[in-house]
């Protein structure tokens, strides 16, 4: 839920309105100012002239879905769905495959869903979650991330980190001798998108005969997800970036509306364009929410004001005028009659009306619960199976 807001000249953004990104001619120009803005220069980074060897190759990490194939993403989804069925409906034990193992949960930012999901998932697998907040360790403050990665990874069996700059999670992974999981960075929030996809599979797949039964595990998500059309109405933030890195690979159409000045990262736009071209998937952009909503199966939004942006609240609320998701907006924009709503939470009143948020169209609490099962799947894949295959 962190914006990577780029406020450059409008000349960079002119091609942004209403185009389908699987046409190479629609690529954004990458200017020197854009490239400069993407160079990270915090004190937590290691100087390039320090000769320190990275960790040995072959250690699996989960940083962004841009690193994974469609098959690997589907594997995580099917694993998550199976875990949910095993635990909630069969009351099945995990067999404690992580007994005697520790996952360091290093969060530099507050968290509710991610922390609860992670700690309960590790406990189910028989391991020990070790929560390390910003007041507990020197994550890039009085100790470099390189040093932290080498020290912490020598004592634990996995690291799940919630950081600021995405380069921070990349540095941890580069020097860690154990798997690193991205719990959130300024650029990506991949575990959230897994939960979104799992929820969509449950919504659009075969339905159980009663609330006490579950059938999502009986159908592969590759049968339910391709062809869906998702409308994003909001900030060009890490949630949108993760959608863009994921949905085109799976054949999920994505329509995006952001206010001017809050567009997504151009590097991710280029990547998504390439993936959309491979799967013949639509990836459309507009500054008008009603354009994005047209023919949408699902409407998704997120917070307009992320942690660290509180001083920008008044300006952001002004800039996002007209972006509140309401039934009237969906009707005027031409969403499908049975459209659904998702939000990664926490939600604020200005983002979506109560009429939508608490309606039968809204699956936000099912989506929140699925954070546990998808995070469980990621931990299982990296720390138990040692692979996404």
Per-residue pLDDT tens digits for 297-343: 999 999 987 666 667 888 999 999 999 999 999 999 999 999 999 99
Distance between CA 258 and CA 1 in Å, rounded? 14
Residues of the chain with CATH 3.40.50.1370: 61-189+370-384, 193-305+316-369
Q: What is the pLDDT along the chain (389 residues), one digit of tens a residue?
A: 554 444 333 333 334 444 444 443 333 333 333 333 333 223 344 455 578 899 999 999 999 999 999 999 999 999 999 999 999 999 999 999 999 999 999 998 778 999 999 999 999 999 999 999 877 776 656 788 899 999 999 999 999 999 999 999 999 999 999 999 999 999 999 999 999 999 999 999 999 999 889 999 999 999 999 999 999 999 999 999 999 999 999 999 999 999 999 999 999 999 999 999 999 999 999 999 999 999 999 999 999 876 666 678 889 999 999 999 999 999 999 999 999 999 999 999 999 999 999 999 999 999 999 999 999 999 999 999 999 99
DSSP 3-state assignment of 219?
Answer: coil
Q: Which CATH architecture has domain 193-305+316-369?
A: 3-Layer(aba) Sandwich (3.40)
What residues act catalytically?
344
The CATH class that applies to domain 61-189+370-384 reads alpha beta
Specify the DSSP element, H or E, that contains 376: helix 364-379
Per-residue CA distances from 319 to 53, 202, 248, 287, 315 (Å): 46, 35, 28, 11, 6
pTM of the model: 0.87
Count of other CB atoms within 10 angstroms of residue 295: 14
Assess contact for 335 and 294: CB atoms under 8 A: yes
Q: Across the beta sheet with 340-343, what order do the strands follow?
A: 283-286, 253-257, 229-233, 298-301, 340-343
Assess contact for 247 and 192: CB atoms under 8 A: no
Distance between CA 349 and CA 339 in Å, rounded? 20
Closest by alpha carbon to 163, among 130, 137, 128? 137
Distance between CA 71 and CA 223 in Å, rounded? 13
């Amino acid at each position: 839920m962190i914006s990577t807001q780029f406020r450059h000249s409008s000349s960079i953004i002119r091609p942004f309105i209403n185009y389908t990104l699987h046409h190479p001619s629609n690529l954004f120009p990458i200017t020197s100012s854009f490239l400069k803005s993407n160079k990270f220069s915090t004190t937590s980074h290691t100087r390039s002239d320090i000769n320190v060897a990275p960790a040995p190759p072959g250690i699996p990490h989960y940083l962004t879905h841009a690193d994974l194939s469609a098959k690997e993403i589907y594997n995580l989804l099917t694993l998550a769905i199976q875990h949910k069925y095993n635990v909630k409906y069969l009351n099945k034990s995990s067999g404690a495959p992580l007994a005697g193992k520790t996952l360091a949960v290093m969060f530099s930012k507050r968290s509710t869903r991610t922390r609860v999901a992670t700690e309960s998932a590790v406990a189910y697998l028989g391991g020990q979650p070790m929560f390390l907040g910003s007041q507990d360790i020197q994550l890039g403050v009085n100790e470099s991330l390189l040093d932290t990665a080498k020290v912490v990874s020598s004592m634990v069996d996995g690291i799940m980190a919630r950081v600021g700059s995405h380069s921070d999670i990349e540095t941890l992974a580069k020097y860690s001798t154990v798997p690193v999981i991205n719990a959130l960075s300024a650029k990506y929030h991949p575990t959230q998108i897994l939960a979104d996809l799992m929820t969509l599979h449950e919504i659009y797949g075969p339905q159980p005969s009663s609330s006490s039964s579950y059938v999502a595990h009986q159908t592969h998500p590759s049968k339910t997800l391709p062809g869906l059309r998702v409308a994003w109405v909001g900030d060009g933030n890490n949630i949108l970036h993760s959608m863009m890195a994921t949905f085109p690979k799976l054949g999920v159409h994505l329509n995006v509306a952001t206010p001017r000045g809050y567009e997504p990262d151009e590097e991710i736009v280029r990547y998504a364009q390439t993936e959309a071209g491979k799967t013949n998937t639509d990836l459309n952009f507009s500054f008008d929410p009603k354009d994005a909503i047209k023919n949408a199966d699902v409407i998704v939004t997120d917070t307009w004001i992320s942690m660290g942006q509180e001083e920008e609240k008044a300006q952001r609320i002004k800039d996002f005028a007209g972006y509140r998701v309401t039934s009237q907006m969906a009707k005027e924009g031409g969403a499908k009659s049975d459209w659904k709503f998702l939000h990664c939470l926490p939600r604020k009143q200005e983002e979506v009306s109560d009429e939508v948020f608490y309606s039968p169209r809204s699956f936000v609490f099912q989506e929140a619960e699925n954070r546990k099962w998808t995070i469980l799947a990621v931990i299982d894949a990296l720390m138990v199976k040692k692979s996404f295959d």
